[in-house]
Chains A and B, each alone.
Chain A
């Protein structure tokens, strides 16, 4: 055993010195390699997890927004349809009202026209009677050669008027 240790050059001072050397390497690596690298890896892990959570949140928000957009669109579409329907009904109603009003106005105009025509006819008929009476009186006076009295004139006029009217 002792001979083997001697052959391999294992001695306490060298062994302790190499142990210290190894401890120094361990310290150097721990202080300036493992600690900062593990800290960085942990930081990166946290950031990745945070980014993934954020991405998930954004995706959920996007879905919710899309859902809301669809709902709003559907609502707007329904409202537009309703408005169109209402407008269509209002237009139909207005059309009916205007038609009725136009018919009434037309009937009114027609009635007035008939009335005016009747009045004109009556007036013309009266004038015609009067003219015919006057002509009959004039003709009668001319034919008979005598001067007709007012009474005769009135009687002949009435007779002529009655016959014209008949």
Chain B
């Protein structure tokens, strides 16, 4: 399971305090060479048949288990007057439903709510659990001081799923497929093409002919924009969380007792929630651009007046 040349030492460095990571020898080598402080790709821990299992996959399972347990605890015996975990879950679900209903048409909000709510809850839980002590700092690496100590962690045991491009790309791909499906379901195939390439502004007469060429060009740009959206979603989330991980690692290993990382932990708490909200809101907004008749309604109102 473990590669030859690495000491299979489980680093018990950073369970309670960040400075412990430094004291346990997380290493001060990062940043001095060409290698990044945190590997951009999630290291493979072991294989299950042909499937490489990365540390982010392992942490995804743990996060899924935590979500499952919390949700089951909260909704197993639901009371009409909520309390405890049920209250928290109800508040989260209701807030996300209100958010979705506030930005999308009721029909579209009903379709999209489960996905966008899952985006938010999964990303926020992943990001926050990624800040727990031990995540990214317990793992395998060249043998260091102490019986289980490593010089620096090459292959952490756990990595936040949102710091793995595979997960962010997977979520973005799900968003892309589902938003396309909902756009077709909402507009119809021909309606969707008209929505993208059609002449807007309620123009009629001969002016439509030159305008249709311009709107064809605009439609092509729109198609490119639609295709870029999932890439932007995936890379924004991955970049922010991976960047945060890198900053924390550098500050932990390059400041006395790792105390320099403390302000960044507060910053990362904020980033964890903000990035989840950004991903969710952008998903809703992108779906809204494809599944709405606002412009047409606006013209209809204009014509009435």
Contact = CB atoms under 8 A, between A and B. Distances in A.
Partners in one complex: yes
Interface of A: 7-11, 13-15, 17-19, 21-26, 28-30, 32-34, 36-38, 40-41, 43-44, 47
B158 to A, nearest CB: 14
A47 B97 CA distance: 20
B8 interface: no
Contact of A22 (B72, B97, B122): B122
Nearest to A5: B165
A19 B170 contact: yes
15 contacts: A9-B39, A9-B41, A9-B165, A18-B167, A21-B60, A21-B64, A21-B161, A22-B122, A30-B118, A33-B74, A37-B78, A37-B93, A38-B97, A40-B80, A40-B90
A32 B118 contact: no
Contact of B113 (A13, A19, A23, A34): A34
B89 interface: yes
B166 A15 contact: yes
B228 interface: no
A131 to B, nearest CB: 122
B166 A18 contact: yes
A7 B93 contact: no
A1 to B, nearest CB: 11
A23 B114 CA distance: 11
Contacts, number: 122
Contact of B90 (A22, A24, A30, A41): A41
Interface string B161-190: 100111101110110000000000000000
Interface string B73-112: 0110010101000000110011001000000000000000
A74 B85 CA distance: 59
Given A7-B41, A21-B170, A25-B63, 10 more contacts: A9-B164, A14-B166, A17-B51, A17-B53, A18-B169, A19-B170, A21-B64, A28-B67, A34-B117, A37-B89
Interface in B39-65: 39-42, 50-54, 56-57, 60-61, 63-64
Interface of B: 39-42, 50-54, 56-57, 60-61, 63-64, 67-68, 71-72, 74-75, 78, 80, 82, 89-90, 93-94, 97, 113-115, 117-118, 121-122, 161, 164-167, 169-171, 173-174, 238
B68 A28 contact: yes
A24 B51 CA distance: 17
Contact of B78 (A15, A26, A36): A36
B60 A29 contact: no
B40 to A, nearest CB: 5
Contacts of B72: 32
Contact of A7 (B40, B64, B169, B173): B40
Contacts of A9: 39-42, 54, 164-166
B96 to A, nearest CB: 9
B75 A36 contact: yes
A8 B93 contact: no
B41 A8 contact: yes
Contacts of A26: 114-115, 118, 122
Contacts of B167: 18, 21-22
